[in-house]
Structure 1
Amino acid sequence: MKVLILYKSNYGNTRQVAEALARQIEGLGHNAEVRDLRLRLPNLKDVDCALIGAPTRIGRATWKARRALRRLRRKRFGAKPLGIFDTYGPLPVDPGELEKNRKWFYPGAAGRMQEKAQKLGLNVFLQTLRCQVQGMKGPLKEGEAGKAAQFAREFIATIENK
């Protein structure tokens, strides 16, 4: 199976998640191509499924990620499985501050992209992957790469069991 992993990354954190997903997928015996959304979409004819990710910025996904979803629909990718992931954070430590700023983190880029993809009629995997960063520019919080690997296993298992 060939899996296309599309990402947009400002500081390299979302790219790291995309690469962790690819490593796990390749470890399961499948082909994975990691591609920056700043580049043109490749030919999708031989792609069996895709994952798309972006950082959460001001509570939403980047315009390149939203545009890529529209392009996937135009290229007739609709029936093929699509998984969604994002990076977000850092979260405020104080519970009061977290609640006050909740709209900037939840549902985040992943939730917004999932909603948009569903409206576009794409075949969206029900779960999303959200990976937290430690500072404004990263790095990824400890354990997030492992979370990405688990998500990749679940995504592939769901496709293989259909």
Structure 2
Amino acid sequence: MKISVMGIEYNQLLSGKVLAEMGNEVTYISQDNKRIENIKRGYYNADEAMVIKSMDTEASVGFTTDIQEALLDSNMCFIAEGNLNNTTDDMIKILKTAQMVGANMSKDMFIVDRSGIFNSSTDAIQEVIQEELSKRNARFSFQVIANPDFLKA
């Protein structure tokens, strides 16, 4: 299965590592080009180093800033933004990410809300994605699933 993970902090790296080791193809997506380049070059903090260095070299893991490319064949997309502070800024970031997913998804898929903030975030994510699909007259089927960061993937 092809899985996209929007976000590249420690918890997202760990979740993606496990998914890749289970045989899935995982692509991490971030708008922070410098961070992506640093990870590709081996520059990351100590906690991330433990996860990244332990990734199975046979596991299919990639890093990109190109959301359209990453979502092209994805069956599942994890929205893993926000930091459990339940702030308005976190929700804005999550909804902006959902907007990018809706604007770029090119097939039916599952959307997994890993943010763990606000009880109503899955409903809001669904509305934003549907709005973006409607703007493009796209008729892709999708389901938003709540799987907060503090629960195992």
Given the two structures, how large is their TM-score scaled by the length of structure 1? Answer: 0.54
The CA distance in 2 between the partners of 1:112 and 1:59, in whole Å, is 13
1:80 aligns with 2:109: yes
Other-structure match for 1:48: 75
1:130 aligns with 2:138: no
> Structure 1: where are the runs of 5+ without partners?
9-14, 88-107, 132-146, 152-162
Q: How many residues align?
A: 106
1:16 aligns with 2:10: yes
Other-structure match for 1:25: 19
Q: Which stretch has the larger CA shift, 116-125 or 28-37?
A: 116-125
Deviation at 1:47, TM superposition (A): 1.5
Matched residue type, 2:10: Q
Q: Closer, same or farther in 2 for the Cα pair 1:26/1:130, shift >3 Å? A: closer
Q: Is the 8 A contact 1:52 1:83 kept in 2?
A: yes
Residue-by-residue CA offset, 1:3-61 (whole Å, 9 max, x unaligned) = 000127xxxxxx11111111111121111112224444241212221101121345342
Other-structure match for 1:6: 6
> Structure 2: where are the runs of 5+ without partners?
33-64, 131-141
The CA distance in 1 between the partners of 2:144 and 2:14, in whole Å, is 20
Q: Closer, same or farther in 2 for the Cα pair 1:82/1:19, shift >3 Å? A: same
Structure with more strand by fraction:
1
**1:115 maps to which of 108, 123, 127:** 123
RMSD: 2.5
Residue-by-residue CA offset, 1:117-158 (whole Å, 9 max, x unaligned) = 222334211x32133xxxxxxxxxxxxxxx4xx32xxxxxxx
Given the two structures, how large is their TM-score scaled by the length of structure 2? Answer: 0.57
Larger RCO: Structure 1 or Structure 2 (Cα < 8 Å, ≥ 6 residues apart)? 1
